[in-house]
C-alpha cells in the first residue's frame, strides 16, 4: 500500500523512514508547505496526492485542527484510508471524520494520538469487541512524568525540571498544555471514546502539576509517597467521569517505577482484568511505530477505532471520590472535610475524607480565582 504523508516534521520524517523499511508499505508523496519543497517526493497541495491513483492511505502528522480536518475529509471522501497522530483533530472533529469514513468504507485510525508509542488505543479497540471496559487510566504525559521524576530523585525545583525537559526536547517551547494537564485530558477523552463510545467534549476536570513545589515533593518523600499525573476515564451512568490530577502512590504501586518521560496506560476489562502498557509516549520513532501499527491494521481489515454509535457527552465527575492531600492556608482548612492534619503553621497539609473529584477541582479553581494558592493530589488506595 502506497502511503502519502501530510507534514514532514518530527513524526512525518519518522513515518517516511519507517515506510521505506516496511514490507507491504511504501512511501508516497509528502505534503510540505508552499516554498518548503526540497525533495522530488514532496508536494505542496493535497490535490497532487489525491490525483495519484496509487495512493491508498494518507497519514496526517501536521498538527492542529485546520487544515488537518479539511484534508482528512477530502481524503476519506476520495475513498482512501486516513491515519492521524493528531489528538486535537480527533478530540474536536473525530466524530465527523468517523461518519465520513463509514460512508466511504475507508479506515479512520488514530492510535498514535493517545500515548504515542504505547499501544493503548489499539488494544482497547480490540478489547471492546469481546470485553466490557470498566476503567481506563494512566500516565499519559511524558513531560510531566520527567519533571516529577527529576524533582523526586534529584531534588530539582519545578523551574529547573521544566527547563531540563525543554532542553531534552520533551516539553514544547510553550509547555502549558503539558503542565496544566490539558494534553493528558485530550488523550483520556480519546481513550473514553474508544473504550465506551462516549467522547467527553466538556466537563473534564483538569489539574496539572503547575502548582507543585519542591517542598511538596520533599514532603511526599518523607511519607514514602510518589507523585504522578494521572488521567482517568470511567463509565458514569450514561456518561463518563473523565479527569486529570496528581495522585500520590505508595512505594509498591507500579506507577512509581514509571521513570523519566515514560508513559504507563492501564485498562480494566470485566473479563481480562487489569492490563498495563508501558513505553515511550512520544518521540519520533515510538510515535511513528504507532502510525505504522495503524497502517498494518488497515492491511488486516481494520476500519475504525470508534464504535459506530460513539456520541459526544459532558463528563460527570461527581460520582468519583477520593481522599485528597491538600496544601493550603491554615485559615482555609475548615472549608474541607479534614480527616488528618499532617503539618501545622501558616500553611497546612491535610488529608481529606473522601470527597467528589468535581468538588475538589471546583474548590481549587475557586480558591485560585480568589488569589489563594493551594496544591492537591488524590491519595491512592
Ligand atoms: N512529537 C511527538 O512526540 C508526538 C507524539 C504523539 C503525537 N504527536 C502528534 O503528531 C503531530 C505532529 O507532531 P510533530 O511533533 O511531528 O510536529 P512538528 O515537528 O511540528 O511537525 C509538523 C510538520 O507539519 C508541517 N505542517 C503544519 N501545517 C502544515 C500545512 N498546512 N501544510 C504542510 N505542512 C504543514 C510543519 O511545517 P512548519 O514547521 O513549517 O510549520 C511541520 O514540518 C501532532 O498532531 C502531534 O500532536 C506528536
CATH topology of domain 131-281: Dihydrodipicolinate Reductase; domain 2 (3.30.360)
> Matching CATH topology for 131-281 and 321-379?
no
* This prediction's pTM: 0.95
Higher pLDDT, 170 or 320: 320
Cα–ligand 1 centroid distance for 10 (angstroms): 7
d(CA 36, CA 39): 9
Does the beta carbon of 85 sit less than 6 angstroms from any atom of ligand 1?
A: yes
Instruction: Spell 168-190 as b/e; 16+ CB within 10 A means b.
Output: eebbeeebebbbbbbbbbbbbbb
Name the CATH topology of 321-379.
Answer: Alpha-Beta Plaits (3.30.70)
For the CA of 290, the nearest atom of ligand 1: 6
Q: What's the pLDDT score for residue 170?
A: 84
The domain locations on the chain are 2-109, 131-281, 321-379
Q: What distance in Å separates the CA atoms of residue 14 and residue 364, rounded to the nearest whole number?
A: 41
What is the atom index within ligand 1 of the atom nearest the CA of 86?
Answer: 45
Cβ-proximal residues to 281 (8 Å cutoff; 6+ apart), any chain: 115, 116, 117, 118, 139, 140, 141, 142, 261, 262, 263
Residue-wise pLDDT for 71-88, tens only, equals 999 999 999 999 999 999
Would you name the residues annotated as active-site residues? 187
- Pick from 63, 83, 116 the residue to mutate for probing ligand 1's pocket: most ligand atoms within 8 Å of its CB: 63
In ligand 1, the atom with minimum distance to the C-alpha of 12 is 16
The CB of 8 under 6 Å from ligand 1? The reply is yes
pLDDT at 282: 87
Q: What pLDDT digit, counting tens, does each position of 253-286 carry?
A: 999 999 999 999 999 999 999 999 999 988 899 9
For domain 2-109, give the CATH number.
3.40.50.720
Grid coordinates belonging to 197: 463510545
Q: What is the pLDDT of residue 381?
A: 74
Amino acid at each position: 500500500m502506497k502511503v502519502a504523508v501530510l507534514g514532514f516534521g518530527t513524526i512525518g520524517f519518522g513515518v517516511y523512514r519507517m515506510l521505506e523499511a516496511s514490507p507491504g508499505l511504501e512511501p508516497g508523496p509528502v505534503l510540505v508547505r508552499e516554498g518548503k519543497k526540497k525533495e522530488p517526493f514532496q508536494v505542496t497541495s493535497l490535490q497532487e496526492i489525491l490525483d495519484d491513483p496509487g495512493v491508498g492511505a494518507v497519514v496526517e502528522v501536521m498538527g492542529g485542527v485546520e487544515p488537518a480536518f479539511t484534508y482528512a475529509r477530502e481524503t476519506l471522501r476520495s475513498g482512501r484510508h486516513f491515519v492521524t497522530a493528531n489528538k486535537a483533530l480527533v478530540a474536536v472533529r473525530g466524530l465527523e471524520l468517523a461518519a465520513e469514513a463509514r460512508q466511504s468504507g475507508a479506515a479512520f485510525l488514530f492510535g498514535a494520538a493517545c500515548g504515542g508509542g504505547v499501544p493503548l488505543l489499539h488494544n482497547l479497540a480490540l478489547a471492546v469487541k469481546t470485553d466490557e471496559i470498566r476503567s481506563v487510566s494512566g500516565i499519559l504525559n511524558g513531560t510531566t512524568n520527567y519533571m516529577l521524576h527529576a524533582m523526586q530523585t534529584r531534588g530539582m525545583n519545578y523551574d529547573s525540571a521544566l527547563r531540563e525537559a525543554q532542553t531534552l526536547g520533551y516539553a514544547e517551547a510553550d509547555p502549558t498544555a503539558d503542565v496544566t494537564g490539558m494534553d493528558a485530558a485530550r488523550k483520556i477523552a480519546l481513550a473514553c471514546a474508544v473504550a465506551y463510545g462516549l467522547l467527553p467534549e466538556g466537563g473534564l476536570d483538569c489539574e496539572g502539576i503547575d502548582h507543585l513545589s519542591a517542598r511538596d515533593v520533599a514532603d511526599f518523600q518523607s511519607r514514602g509517597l510518589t507523585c504522578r499525573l494521572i488521567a482517568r476515564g470511567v463509565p458514569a451512568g450514561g456518561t463518563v467521569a473523565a479527569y486529570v490530577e496528581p495522585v500520590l502512590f505508595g512505594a509498591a504501586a507500579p506507577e512509581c517505577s514509571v521513570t523519566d518521560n515514560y508513559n504507563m496506560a492501564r485498562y480494566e476489562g470485566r473479563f481480562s482484568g487489569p492490563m498495563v502498557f508501558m513505553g515511550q509516549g512520544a518521540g519520533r520513532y515510538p510515535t511513528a511505530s504507532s502510525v505504522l501499527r495503524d497502517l498494518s491494521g488497515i492491511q488486516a481489515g481494520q476500519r475504525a477505532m470508534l464504535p459506530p454509535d460513539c456520541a459526544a457527552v459532558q463528563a460527570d465527575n461527581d460520582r468519583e471520590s477520593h481522599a485528597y492531600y491538600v496544601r493550603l492556608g491554615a485559615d482555609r482548612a475548615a472549608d474541607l472535610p479534614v480527616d488528618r492534619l499532617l503539618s501545622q503553621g501558616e500553611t497546612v497539609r491535610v488529608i481529606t475524607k473522601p470527597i467528589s473529584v468535581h468538588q475538589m477541582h471546583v474548590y481549587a479553581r475557586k480558591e485560585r480565582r480568589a488569589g489563594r494558592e493551594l496544591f492537591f493530589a488524590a491519595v491512592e488506595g
